[in-house]
Structure 1
Amino acid sequence: MNELIKIVEAEYQDVRAKMPDFKPGDTVNVHVMIREGNKQRIQQFKGIVIQRKNPNTNGETFTVRKVSNGIGVERIFPILSPNIEKVELLRQGKVRRARLFYMRAVKVKLPGLRKKNSSGGAVKEIRWIKILPNKILSTCPALCRVRPVQRLTSRLQKGC
């Protein structure tokens, strides 16, 4: 029985050796095999690693988060999945936590407002609004009065 376990673990060690050493906070590009009927294609999922669960086990997973069109998308990938073609490490981030769930309170970049500077040229001003999760909004009555982003962005564009 021990020989069988050693054979299986040795097989998985080869897969682990191909993976780059990435940590939470790193930006990665995961190439995933997607099967649609008879067709196969590779889909890329680029985002920030939020967490790694069950490290150094066969059930190890990692969660990647990206913001697409203002909507946060998270995906959980098993390290030993045969559907993962490769994982590219694009940028290393420096964080002080192992679980980056605070990244779910996303900052959204609004369309820039243009103002004229003293020399007459237009300067683009970028405004950031922090979107808070619904749980926080429902527990804090002061934050419940915050308007939805659509109304807030239209007011900012009008100059209020």
Structure 2
Amino acid sequence: MGSIKLKQPQALSDEKTINLIEERQTKKNLPKILVGDTVKIGVVIKEGNKERVQFYQGIIIGKSNIGINLTISVRKIFQGIGVERKFLVHSPKFESIEIIKSSRVRKSKLYYLRKVLGKKSRLKQNFNT
């Protein structure tokens, strides 16, 4: 007896499938964010059955990964204590980002800001952007 061969629909490769999903999920309207920028980030907070946007303002001390996995580390001083938070930029909970001030820095990671306080932690403002 002969077997009947059915035509399978042409499947996308794994890499193409991942690229399609990433393309749909990435946010297109983001400004160019750099290390040293002072930013105001809107994050969606869910409380019970209500949702609201909470803003977090601080200095970007590091960026890691690329594409859909882009994360930024933001540091702020709250009541004399340094608070750091990492944000996944293309996450649905990441509502908005506004660049308040841009600074001129020479390093890609500003982890030294963790150790210094007061006037030593000031960054030179960049007026070109």
Which TM-score bucket, shorter chain as reference? Answer: 0.7 to 0.9
- Structure 2 stretches of 5 or more lacking a match? 1-11, 122-129
- Cα RMSD after superposing both structures: 1.9
- Where is the helix percentage greater, Structure 1 or Structure 2? 1
1:95 deviates by: 0.4
Give 2:3's aligned residue: none
Helix, strand or coil: the match of 1:11?
A: helix
Give 1:105's aligned residue: 115
Give 1:72's aligned residue: 82
Give 2:23's aligned residue: 10
Change over 3 Å in CA distance of 1:37–1:52 after alignment to 2: same
1:36 and 2:78 are equivalent in the alignment: no
Helix, strand or coil: the match of 2:103?
A: coil
- Residue identity matched to 2:22: E
Q: Work out the CA distance in 2 between the residues paired with 1:59 and 1:6.
A: 13
Give 1:118's aligned residue: none
Helix, strand or coil: the match of 2:87?
A: strand
Percentage of pairs with the same residue: 37
- Structure 1 stretches of 5 or more lacking a match? 109-127, 131-160
Q: Work out the CA distance in 1 between the residues paired with 2:120 and 2:22.
A: 48
1:92 and 2:102 are equivalent in the alignment: yes
Q: Work out the CA distance in 2 between the residues paired with 1:9 and 1:93.
A: 31
1:23 and 2:34 are equivalent in the alignment: yes
Q: Work out the CA distance in 2 between the residues paired with 1:10 and 1:79.
A: 14
1:93-126 C-alpha deviation (Å, 9 max, x unpaired): 1000001000012324xxxxxxxxxxxxxxxxxx
1:8 deviates by: 1.4
Alignment of 1:104-123 (within 5 A): 104-108=114-118
Alignment of 1:46-57 (within 5 A): 46-54=57-65, 56-57=66-67
Q: What TM-score, normalized to structure 1?
A: 0.62
